[in-house]
Structure 1
Amino acid sequence: MAEQSVRAWRLVLDHIEGDLLEGRLNPGDRLPSERDLAVDLGVGRSSVREAFRVLEVMGLIRTATGSGPQAGAIVIATPTGGMSQLLRLQVAAHGFPLADVVQTRLVLEDAVVHALTTSADRDTAEAHRMLEAMDAPDLSPAEFLALDAQFHLALAEASDNSVIAAMMAGLRSSIESYVQAGAVAIPDWSAMADRLRKEHRALVARVDAGDELAARALLRAHITGYYTAAGLTRRQPSDPPIPTPDPTEN
């Protein structure tokens, strides 16, 4: 019976997925009622409710009781929150190998730099706000690194690529946990914080100038440099040299 119930709610999910893929359902549309779906698919209403709960947790629909235009289950236009939540749950449940996190960061943030430097209307205001926040005196390593993670997320969100932004948001807890763990191995945190501030400002300056090649090199050196300095990864021969940030960009 339990196995049949699982198959039933998955049948509902598959049906709704098909409607989305075929364009019969679009963002903003209301799903058929529980009763109608149950009759059409030959399943119990409890199975439909279970499928709706799964879709709501995934951020694909929102549900509201009552009557009127906002009642029922409605497809959400930008379900990035669901993707972020699923990634966070995966991190919490299993964790990701550090090498995979670093490689994924490099791929995602490289795409962010490309999107920003090739955009005519890029907006890095939030990233600049994070730079100013990281200049505050007496920040603990944990506080500084939390702002650091928010800085990188702000750049991702500014790229206007909702998938990349959602993935970065979902990986944020994993990224933070690793960089926080590495901070205790750094003998002179004050010097490291100064270095990271300069690297951040140099990176944003190149992004704002639309200099993609320089920004990508700075980003890769910034990410791999910290993990190496913290003893989390070993420097590879293929890693780019760590550039000295231009003091005029500080």
Structure 2
Amino acid sequence: MPQSASGRAHDAVLRHIEESLRSGKLRLGDRLPGERALAEQFGISRGSVRGAIRSLEVMGVVRSATGSGPNSGTVIVSDPSSALGGALRMHVASHRLPLKDVVEARIMMETWSLEHAAVAPWDEEQLDDARRLLEAMDDDALSPEVFTLLDAQFHVALSSLAGNAVVSTMMDSMRGAISEFIDEAVTSRGTWDQMVHVLREHHRGIFEAVEARDGELAARLVHEHIDWFYRHAS
């Protein structure tokens, strides 16, 4: 099949799945028909179907697994932060997106989130997610890599209290995009033992401000926290 025709066949499958998701014909957890069925439905090659499925996997829309068990097949999952994080990570690695700009964008979104969390209708159970992560980070036996993973989850948990799914997804994506920089920074320096104590202190202050619904203080503290970390990690 000529490449232009193959591309149109690929796009036809993507448009069909997009329309099915929008209309509700397909929902999270549903399985797509097999390659052969989709190829017959669209009158295209199975190779074109596979290309479309791969694109959907990269976009975080589906998960594919081979075999014949209950977890096999192509399932609608919708994991936007994974897809966006992967794309951002590649562009940061290529230096097309400077790390400094990603950090500034993160500060803008996270300060906005904590300001809005002060008046958002979250409950104590939602805040407990961040509280458990805060307590887990007090374990002195944690490696730097595990600590920074919990740290990332803590920031996303607090930001999600604002109730904006797009901002929460972008926050998660940006943390993923710069995770390698963070891991390298904390493991290549001999000052981690001193840094981790400061990070814990910062986290407690941010958490307490959020818990008190003091959005202005929470936003200021998280700005200072992120700025402090990147100055010491760079």
Which bin holds the TM-score, normalised by the shorter protein?
0.7 to 0.9
Whether the 8 Å CA contact 1:203–1:215 is kept in 2: the answer is yes
The answer on 1:209 being equivalent to 2:212 is: yes
Distance 1:210 1:89, change over 3 A: same
The answer on 1:130 being equivalent to 2:133 is: yes
Whether the 8 Å CA contact 1:182–1:227 is kept in 2: the answer is no
**Alpha-carbon separation, structure 1, partners of 2:66 and 2:148:** 42
The answer on 1:12 being equivalent to 2:10 is: no
Structure number, greater radius of gyration:
1
Gaps of 5+ in 2: none
Identity %: 38
Whether the 8 Å CA contact 1:63–1:71 is kept in 2: the answer is yes
- CA-based RMSD of the aligned residues comes to 3.6
1:92 deviates by: 4.8
Pick one of 221, 225, 228 that aligns with 1:222.
225
Aligned position for 1:48:
49
Secondary structure class of the residue paired with 1:101: helix
1:34-45 correspondence runs (5 A): 38=39, 41-45=42-46
TM-score after normalising by structure 1: 0.70
Amino acid at match of 1:104: A
- Residue-by-residue CA offset, 1:134-155 (whole Å, 9 max, x unaligned): 2222544444333322321332
Q: Which structure has the higher relative contact order (CA within 8 Å, separation 6+)?
A: 2
1:99 deviates by: 1.0
Deviating more after overlay: 125-134 vs 50-59: 50-59
- Residue-by-residue CA offset, 1:56-89 (whole Å, 9 max, x unaligned): 45332456899xxx9986644xx12x44145225
TM-score after normalising by structure 2: 0.74
Deviating more after overlay: 123-132 vs 165-174: 165-174
Pick one of 194, 198, 201 that aligns with 2:197.
194
Say how many residue pairs are matched.
226
Larger relative helix fraction: 2
Aligned position for 1:27:
27
